[in-house]
Amino acid sequence: MNPLKIEDLSGIQGDILLNGFPKKAEVFSFFTIRATQQFCQTIQTVASSKIATGKDIKDLREQISKLPKGQIIDVAKTNIAFTSGGLTKLSNSQRSLQRGLNGLQNSAPSFVVGMQNETEREALGDPVFSNWNLNQNGGGSIDGVLIVAGIKMETVQAELKNVYSQLNKGGEAVIELFKEIGVERASQPGHEHFGFNDGISHPQVFGINNSPSLTFQLDDVVQPKDTSNFVDPGVIVVGRHGDENNPKPQWMTDGSFLVFRKLEQHVGKWNDFVVNKWKDAGSSGPAQFGAQLMGRWQSGCPIHIQDQRDDSTLALRNDFDYGGLTKQGKCPLAAHIRKAHIRTGFNSTRIMRRGIPYGDDFRNGQPDVGRGLLFACYQSTIENGYRFIQTAWANQPGFPTGDAGLDVTIGQGKATDPPSPFQIGTKSVNINPINDFVTAKGGEYFFAPSMKVLRAGFNIENLEAKL
């Protein structure tokens, strides 16, 4: 399969590579399609005028890098992705797409059944659907999602309204079912609600992140010796080198599968746990205990490199490994960053995270609900990416060894499972199988097509021969 070059970014949606959209505010707007033929016509215009490409984001980041400190560019950027049901609905108007969906049940089975499926729910360890609050509010099935992000929420909301207006030019082709709104925390920019620096250690893509034509520094600094953090482009983008082992239909080339999850964080419970249990864990205090659970101090400093104190000068360090899959060390085996990225092979399981916090900051005495992370990630194969990390690693107390423990942040067991001992050196603390700190409140699987597919209005008959 073909490698990826910086020039190819013009054919890929913009939130997938190069750290994605610059964002302090973001809206995930979930929609249903009412008129498929009209939608296939209007999406062609919207794709050319409103859907941001990777090149658009590269150019924007170059502009931002030249601004004086404190200045911003007040723009909002849009991407779009579709559920399996949404693509099937569109295929009723585009026969070539109907043929193009053949075989997806073998190459992308999780995408085909969707996250809102009982078998998939059980596999992920999610709560029953009645406890989800990702609501459709009636009106139809979730056919897709518009992702709009920028620096100011007013600009983001105005852009979203503009995109819907263009999609519905000539009649009601699509309607919004509901939206999820994320905003960077003003009190701790770049940090999630437990207080940890988020978005560190994105995989770097060969042909893109090491391109000599990049004239700006990415948010996530890559150390020159950190070759382990580079992945083949086909790990993230369909149909490129590295995606040979799980071939998808040709029309999916330069697209990527999007996983969306609404994860509610119970900050009060987390705070109480680290305050009350750090002595049982043999830690020096709540801050070190929290770092041991996460694998990084709140600044982002890896505990594997500095286990005694937080050092913000090491916040973006990624040039390290753990010395082996099962080697005990300063970073516990079940620490979140170690469970999710073991740094010993398995580069085919990497994902490109694009989440943002939602909800107000927690304050003592307030309800411990209504805040968390709108988690989003891209990968070329859901089964090798997000789903594998969740089901084979985070949810398994026996990974990488029989006494490692559950991933405290995203691990989910069954109510009938016994408490899992989270090992820290020679000591351990018990972790409940039903996650006390993070509750999945809903989600779905999507596919973000290439720009060529969108500009063709999903008429892929002539397109496939050119790919």
pLDDT tens track for 350-377: 999 999 999 999 999 999 999 999 999 9
Q: Residue 134 class from Cβ within 10 Å (0-12 exposed, 13-18 middle, 19+ buried)? A: buried
99-120 in b/e burial notation, b at 16+ Cβ within 10 A? ebbeebeebbebbbebbbeeeb
CA gap 362, 264 in Å, rounded: 12
Q: In this predicted model, what pLDDT tens digit does every residue of 260-287 receive, in sequence order?
A: 999 999 999 999 999 999 999 999 999 9
Return the pLDDT at 218.
Answer: 67
Residues 380-400, mean pLDDT to the nearest whole number: 96
Q: Which of 434, 404, 27, 410 is nearest to 198 (CA)?
A: 410
Q: What are phi and psi of 32, to 5 degrees?
A: -120, 145
Q: Are 251 and 440 in contact (CB under 8 A)?
A: no
User: Residue 9: pLDDT above 50?
Assistant: yes
Q: How far is CA 253 from the centre of its chain?
A: 20
Q: Residue 451 class from Cβ within 10 Å (0-12 exposed, 13-18 middle, 19+ buried)? A: buried
**pLDDT band at 139, cuts 50/70/90?**
confident
168-202 in b/e burial notation, b at 16+ Cβ within 10 A? beeeebbebbeebbbbbbeebebbbbbbbbbbbbb
CA gap 39, 295 in Å, rounded: 46
User: Residue 29: pLDDT above 50?
Assistant: yes
Residues 57-76, mean pLDDT to the nearest whole number: 94
Residue with tokens 């697209």: 255
Q: In this predicted model, what pLDDT tens digit does every residue of 185-200 receive, in sequence order?
A: 999 999 999 999 998 8
- pLDDT averaged over every residue in the chain: 93
Residues 391-417, mean pLDDT to the nearest whole number: 93
Q: What are phi and psi of 389, to 5 degrees?
A: -60, -40
Q: Which of 409, 410, 457 is nearest to 40 (CA)?
A: 457
Report residue 143 as tokens. Answer: 């056919």
Q: Which residues pair with 146 in a beta bridge?
A: 29, 80
Q: Which of 22, 7, 39, 33 is nearest to 457 (CA)?
A: 39
User: Residue 293: pLDDT above 90?
Assistant: yes
Q: What are phi and psi of 289, to 5 degrees?
A: -60, -45
CA gap 323, 300 in Å, rounded: 20
**pLDDT band at 224, cuts 50/70/90?**
very low
pTM of the entire predicted model = 0.96
User: Residue 221: pLDDT above 70?
Assistant: no
235-249, 300-314, 396-410, 452-466: which range is least confident on average? 452-466
User: Residue 463: pLDDT above 90?
Assistant: no
164-173, 223-232, 360-369: which range is least confident on average? 223-232
State whether residue 199 is helix, strand or coil. coil
Q: How far is CA 422 from the centre of its chain?
A: 26
